[in-house]
Amino acid sequence: MKFTSISAAKVLCLALATLTSVHAHSWIDDLTIIGGPNNGTKGFIRNFQGHIDALASYRITDPTFNVPACAPFQQQFNNNPNPQFPQLTAAPGDIIQGSYTENGHITKLEAPHAQPGTIYWYASSENGLQPTLAEVKQWTADGRGGNGKGMLIAGPRSFDDGVCAENSQQPLAIQRNAAGKGGPCKTNFKLPDTLQVGSTVTVYWVWDYDLHFGPEMVGHIEWYTSCADIKISGHNVSGNNGTGYQGVNSNKPHRYNRRYASRL
């Protein structure tokens, strides 16, 4: 009988490739104003039906990224959202916080060198736009990147905010919950100051989870997105520039580039 020698790294990659994850994945559950005249106002992503993996999570594995940036159930512009889960109404300049559960992607990593990944926030005022993830990834903070139809408004930031944890028996979860931390992860962004009252801006939460199984899984592609529409109403009369926000780690309010604000 003839045996073929393969490296330990290849064995690990094969094992990880056949691994069936027991975790649910992550998405933005809600958006809340944390810096602005209407602090505490809450809204939801497009077509939100509740905290249900199959109805909220959108996994992208196409290495070209030439697939819709929004899930099939989130591609329609949210003109008439479910009143039980309304879209957010906010003012120009408001600081918005998105919440998501870590679902073990921080406290129960699936490989020795796995990393929880990186998140970004993008925005566009082109209502009804259905960009591909490849197009969204080209948008830049100055509004000039790619097709110029949107811009990066926050990120890159770690998926792990340094505080969140599910309620489990994993050591990190126990440690964080015992320290009075735990609960959903938080990530925030600042709405451009020059957004027109009466308009609607679409925001895209993008999670790069390529290192789900660590660097040993060379070429692994795994991204997730959530899309939400925000109605722009009123003005930010509070003068809040985000300095009162008690953030964690790198999730601090994004310093918006006013020079290119009009591009949104």
Tens of pLDDT, residue by residue over 78-113, are 766 688 999 999 999 999 999 999 999 999 988 889
Tens of pLDDT, residue by residue over 158-216, are 999 999 999 999 999 999 999 999 999 999 999 999 899 999 999 999 999 999 999 98
Give the model's confidence band at 23: pLDDT under 50 very low, under 70 low, under 90 confident, else very high.
low
pLDDT at 12: 38
pLDDT at 130: 93
pLDDT at 52: 86
pLDDT at 76: 84
pLDDT at 50: 86
Calpha distance 84→5 (Å, rounded): 58
Q: Are 70 and 227 in contact (CB under 8 A)?
A: yes
DSSP string, the chain: -------HHHHHHHHHHTPPP-S------EEEEEESTTTT-EE--TT--SS-HHHH--EE--TT--SBSS-GGG-S--SS--TTSPPEEE-TT-EEEEEE--TTTTTS-SSTT----EEEEEEE--TT---BHHHHHT--TTS-STTSS-EEEEEEEES--SS-B-SSSSHHHHHHHHTT--BSEEEEEE--TTPPTT-EEEEEEEEE-TTTT-TTSTT---EEEEEEEEEE-S--TT---STT----TT-PPP---GGGGGG-
Give the model's confidence band at 253: pLDDT under 50 very low, under 70 low, under 90 confident, else very high.
very low
Q: Above 60 in pLDDT, residue 45?
A: yes
Q: What is the mean pLDDT of residues 107-128?
A: 92
pLDDT at 7: 43
More confidently predicted of 123 and 49: 123
Classify burial at 256, counting beta carbons within 10 Å of its beta carbon; exposed 0-12, middle 13-18, buried 19 or more. buried
pLDDT at 235: 57
Q: Above 90 in pLDDT, residue 71?
A: yes
Calpha distance 31→95 (Å, rounded): 10
